[in-house]
Amino acid sequence: MADPTLFDISQRGKRCTRMPAPEKGAEELIPAQHLRAQAPGLPEVSEPEIARHYATLAAQNFNVDGHFYPLGSCTMKYNPKVNEALAADPGWARLHPATPEEHVQGALRLMHQLEAWLCAILGMDAVSLQPPAGAAGEFTSLRVFRAWHDSQGNTQRTRVIVPDTAHGTNPASVARCGWTVTVLESGDDGRVSPEALADALDDDVAALMLTNPNTLGLFEAQVLQIAEMVHDAGALMYCDGANMNALLGHGRPGEMGFDAVQVNLHKTFSTPHGGGGPGSGPIGVTAELEPFLPVPRLVEQDGRLAWDWDRPESIGKVQSWFGNFLVAVRAWAYIRACGADGLAQVARDAVLAANYIRASLEDVYDLPYPGACMHECVLSARTIAEETGVRAADIAKRLLDHGIHPPTMYFPLIVDEALMIEPAETETKAALDRFIEVMREIAREAAADPEILHDAPHSTPVRRVDEVKAARNPILRWQGR
Ligand SMILES: *Cc1c(COP(=O)(O)O)cnc(C)c1O
């Protein structure tokens, strides 16, 4: 039987707190047409009951503090708790964005330093912290590209080339910018093929959007040649930098020939992402594009920081106030604590962990693109599916029975039965070994007893859900018993 809801345990007259009766009746305070005819049917419970109800629900949740979570920086890597504590400090958290600049020099200094550090990490000349997510960073950068092209009289450039492995936000950002997408098919090695790119380039192309390492976890080793081709064709190079976890301290988009890049602070730089926000997608650009960045820009004069709104070439405002400030606080603290050497170590450990998993599983699962990977490895259950009927989704559900969160599945779209595994830098070797052992065990089960996988998970509070029905007929409200 399902756990009782708050409505089930409700008893008339129970309360957590008692509010003093208002001095005036509701009729005097609220116009009659806005008053309910009947009191709402809210559950009536005591404080311990409500506390236990939510604690029980929370305990049923899969979470990164309790379980191995191979979704990685892309979705939910483990983040140091100290950065949460710092961001929650009332000195930051209760700051009002309209506070006069002279009273918030410390907060402005933090943002200014973070901009400078991100410039150094990305190899770019200027950074804006304003975009509130990775997709918003893509969109803002494309608007900057468009303003630059307009300033050059290149108004015929309306096409953006996007590889078929790209995250779905890339084509969406292009469309929001009023441009059209040309999809570039990946080469046999899972990377951009310079020959295919040459065919796609023309004088109506505004930019190439490239994710490096790409979403197959592969480094685009020909990026310098690609950048030269794109620039020779009069277009700009955009780097989707959401996979920065792999590059920290080892490779800089600015040195790879990119003109702009976004970085997802809520992925690599210590803000939890799985809950759905808030995020932050700062963008870095070359000096040539700097005048077009969103307003306001943070400027320093005589040791004082101030917002500069007077920037005639700017694309304007892209976010209320100055971006998601508390995400910037976590990123500042993370970078400060790691230092340059520590950040390089983060990338080394993340890449090593992914390759350890790849090398330990490639004899049991398909590896569609052989060879070393970066921060994530993309395996495939294609052969297992053909031989046993067990699909990637069944494997993912079975992992839950072993207390492991499923990896990203069925992405990138060009890999059948894809299992994209990103352990990130924080997992111990023991945790990785256990994951490998469970994945091998599941592959054995697929051959011996596929039903157990089709019916998984067996041990979770909610068993296999009908995902199609849940999407088509969502019941999001208590409907009585
Ligand atoms: C997450 C991600 C994005 C989008 O970032 P959001 O902050 O979710 O908008 C874009 N590209 C890649 C490769 C990503 O992993």
Nearest Cα residue to atom 7 of ligand 1: 134
Is the peptide bond between 213 and the residue preceding it cis, with omega within 30 degrees of 0? yes
Q: Predicted confidence band at 268 (pLDDT cuts at 50, 70, 90)?
A: very high
Nearest Cα residue to atom 14 of ligand 1: 242
Reported as a single tens digit per residue, the pLDDT across 183-232 is 999 999 999 999 999 999 999 999 999 999 999 999 999 999 999 999 99
Give the Å distances, CA to CA, from 3 to 21, 225, 231, 265.
Answer: 35, 60, 61, 38
In angstroms, the CA 51 to CA 43 distance is 14
Reported as a single tens digit per residue, the pLDDT across 77-121 is 899 999 999 999 999 999 999 999 999 999 999 999 999 999 999
Compute, in angstroms, the gap from residue 219 CA to the centroid of ligand 1.
17
In angstroms, the CA 213 to CA 221 distance is 9
Q: Report pLDDT for 402.
A: 97
Cβ contacts of 28 within 8 Å, gap of 6 or more: none
Q: What length does the chain have?
A: 481
Q: Report pLDDT for 477.
A: 83
Nearest Cα residue to atom 5 of ligand 1: 134
In angstroms, the CA 269 to CA 114 distance is 11
Name the phi and psi angles at 243, rounded to 5: -95, 30
Whether the CB of 281 sits within 6 Å of ligand 1: yes
Give the mean pLDDT of 403-407: 96
Nearest Cα residue to atom 2 of ligand 1: 242
Average pLDDT over the chain reads 95
Give residue limits of the domains in the chain: 81-337, 340-460
Give the Å distances, CA to CA, from 34 to 24, 38, 42, 138, 317.
Answer: 16, 12, 19, 44, 37
Nearest Cα residue to atom 4 of ligand 1: 134
Compute, in angstroms, the gap from residue 198 CA to the centroid of ligand 1.
27
Q: In CATH terms, is domain 81-337 a member of 3.30.1360.30?
A: no
Q: Report pLDDT for 20.
A: 87
DSSP tag of 123: T
Give a three-class secondary structure readout of 282-338: CEEECHHHHHHCCCCEEEEECCEEEEECCCCCCCCCCCCCCCCHHHHHHHHHHHHHH
Q: What type of residue is 49?
A: E
Within 13 Å of residue 147, how many CA atoms lie on the same side as its CB?
Answer: 18
Q: Domain 340-460 is in which class?
A: alpha beta
In angstroms, the CA 48 to CA 307 distance is 49
From 167, 170, 239, the mutation candidate for ligand 1 (largest count of ligand atoms within 8 A of CB) is 167
418-421: strand order across its sheet: 377-380, 418-421, 408-409
More confident residue, 478 or 435: 435
Q: Report pLDDT for 21.
A: 83
The answer on pLDDT for 399 being more than 90 is yes
DSSP tag of 368: S
In angstroms, the CA 347 to CA 350 distance is 5
